[in-house]
Amino acid sequence: MRKLNVIIVCLVLAMAGCSSGNIKTGTIGIENEVFPVVERYLENSAAGNWREVFETLSGEALAETRANAGRVKVSEKIVSKILKLNPVCQDVAEVSADFTKAYGGGVDRLAYNFRLKKHEGRWLIYMTTYGEYQHGELKSGQLPLEAAGIIKTYLELPFNEKRTLDHKYLAGKILQDSLKSKLLPMDTQSVKQQENIKTRVKTMECLGMADGYAVVRVGYDVIKDSEEYPVESLVEVLDVNGAWKICRMDITKS
């Protein structure tokens, strides 16, 4: 019986070894199939070649892109990109993309997740969502002076300058949200109220950084009608083609 158990254990280990090798080989094979699809999507969507973009899409991604393609007026160019494969299951994969694009004198860096499914031998993107920027393990360190300056300057800008100079200080989803907000009608009374609010940054602590990416705890006072209200936020900044920009801000205490 003991001998039989040893044989069974050996067989299980051998099968596990074969399975591990197949997964590794399969992952590399999938990368070779799905990465070109994502790259083709990125390059052509940046250039406004919508016919080529549509050929990489299916499902809700295709419907959404067809509906919004006509609104894109600026031609862009992909400057750099990092792709990472996250296998989901058979014939379904997710690719995380961290890419930088140049447009009309400006530069932006975005992070997207692309879900792909294999249809009749072809991989197609069926869903796109905002993702996370790719970087190593965050460790304590000294926040670069330029990054600290960007955070302080932006937070203390008057409301109107935050809107008009968003491309200079922001990146990624937070920049896209700012650009979209400027397309909406503004409430005059609300704008006047915002213009009367001032901000004064008091403290800044880098909680972790790696590979041109940092998370910073910022303490500041919001001043309204001569009253000061202490606020604490987590601000995430990253290197966008050599310049630090804010990519996320969350109020954690007010």
- For the stretch 42-65, pLDDT in tens is 999 999 999 999 999 999 999 999
- Whether residue 208 is predicted with pLDDT greater than 70 in this model: the reply is yes
More confident: 226 or 223: 223
Residue 245 CB neighbours (<10 A): 25
In terms of Cβ atoms closer than 10 Å to its own Cβ (0-12, 13-18, 19+), residue 152 is middle
State whether residue 139 is helix, strand or coil.
strand
Gap between the Cα atoms of 50 and 35, Å rounded: 19
More confident: 89 or 25: 89
Beta bridge partners of 218: 204, 233
How far out from the chain centre does Cα 55 lie? 24
User: Within 13 Å, how many C-alpha atoms sit on residue 228's CB side?
Assistant: 8
The one-letter code for the residue type at 230 is: P
Structure tokens at 31: 């990368």
Whole-number pLDDT of residue 191: 73
More confident: 95 or 194: 95
More confident: 71 or 97: 97
More confident: 28 or 152: 152
The pLDDT > 90 percentage for the chain reads 73
Whole-number pLDDT of residue 151: 98
**pLDDT tens-place string over residues 106-128:** 999 999 999 999 999 999 999 99
Termini Cα distance of the chain: 68
> What domains, with CATH codes, occur in the chain?
2-130 (3.10.450.100), 145-253 (3.10.450.540)
- Mean per-residue pLDDT of the chain: 88
Handedness of CA 152, 155, 157, 162 (dihedral sign): positive
Gap between the Cα atoms of 132 and 211, Å rounded: 14
- Angle at CA of residue 34, ends 29 and 40, nearest 5°: 140
Whole-number pLDDT of residue 188: 77
The model's confidence at residue 26, banded by pLDDT at 50, 70 and 90, is low
Q: Which phi and psi angles does 137 have, rounded to 5°? A: -65, 130
Q: Which is nearest to 197 in space by CA: 158, 162, 153, 169?
A: 158
Integer CA distances (angstroms), 19 to 29, 34, 149, 235, in order: 15, 22, 51, 43
More confident: 2 or 175: 175
Structure tokens at 5: 């158990």
- Whether residue 17 is predicted with pLDDT greater than 80 in this model: the reply is no
Gap between the Cα atoms of 109 and 100, Å rounded: 4
Whole-number pLDDT of residue 189: 77
Beta bridge partners of 234: 217, 250
Structure tokens at 150: 């960007």
User: Within 13 Å, how many C-alpha atoms sit on residue 6's CB side?
Assistant: 3
More confident: 129 or 71: 129
Whole-number pLDDT of residue 2: 45
Beta bridge partners of 68: none
